[in-house]
A and B are shown apart, each in its own frame.
Chain A
Amino acid sequence: DTAVSQTPKYLVTQMGNDKSIKCEQNLGHDTMYWYKQDSKKFLKIMFSYNNKELIINETVPNRFSPKSPDKAHLNLHINSLELGDSAVYFCASSQAPKTSGVYNEQFFGPGTRLTVL
């Protein structure tokens, strides 16, 4: 059973187009994330949702809009795609983070490789 799944796996599109990436988790987690990994493998948080509420919103252009219809889904819509948006986008999920010394592991999906031409 796939724990965190993303669709599509590959996305090739032209500059200026609008595209969406979907993410679903079947782990029963409350918290979901979107990360961007650039060509140098640097992985950076973009957004985080807890119980459908936005809790982390890094300095991401407002062309990127996450949407969480329910706790198991977190989608990412990107408007007016630019060359610099080319990257691998990872969705992740975890139980709600704690401050008690226990780390609730973030489980990552397989990634969506976005290429903007």
Chain B
Amino acid sequence: QKEVEQDPGPLSVPEGAIVSLNCTYSNSAFQYFMWYRQYSRKGPELLMYTYSSGNKEDGRFTAQVDKSSKYISLFIRDSQPSDSATYLCAMSAGGFQKLVFGTGTRLLVSP
């Protein structure tokens, strides 16, 4: 069993839809929870991160962490075709501990 589980998709939605992306994890030492976006043939880029539990909002994006359930989510409101990409969750215990990635969910937003 992988440390971080993520549905690979693809997830297809129409423009304007609310998208929900999720990851579960098994390592209770994880304290930092990140969402990276990766366009085709590009390197991942950080969307947002959350430390410990709680919610964080940045424009159309909201990240949620529920440490009691070992479950994290990324919500995208008013999705756009330009949001079509692979979304990778990543987690770390902090310090020099390694960043552990999920397998990524491929999102397709159609006009």
Contact = CB atoms under 8 A, between A and B. Distances in A.
Q: Is the interface of A mostly helix, strand, loop or mixed?
A: loop
Contacts, number: 61
Interface in B77-111: 86, 88, 92, 94-101, 103-104, 106
A106 B95 contact: no
B25 interface: no
Interface residues of B, number: 27
Given A40-B103, A110-B43, A111-B43, A48 B98 contact: yes
Contacts of A99: 94-95
Interface size class of A (residues with CB under 8 A): 20 to 34
Interface string B29-63: 00010100010011111100101100000000000
B25 to A, nearest CB: 15
B94 A98 contact: yes
Interface in A43-85: 43-45, 48, 50, 55-56, 58
Given A41-B8, A111-B42, 6 more contacts: A42-B104, A48-B96, A58-B98, A97-B92, A99-B94, A105-B49
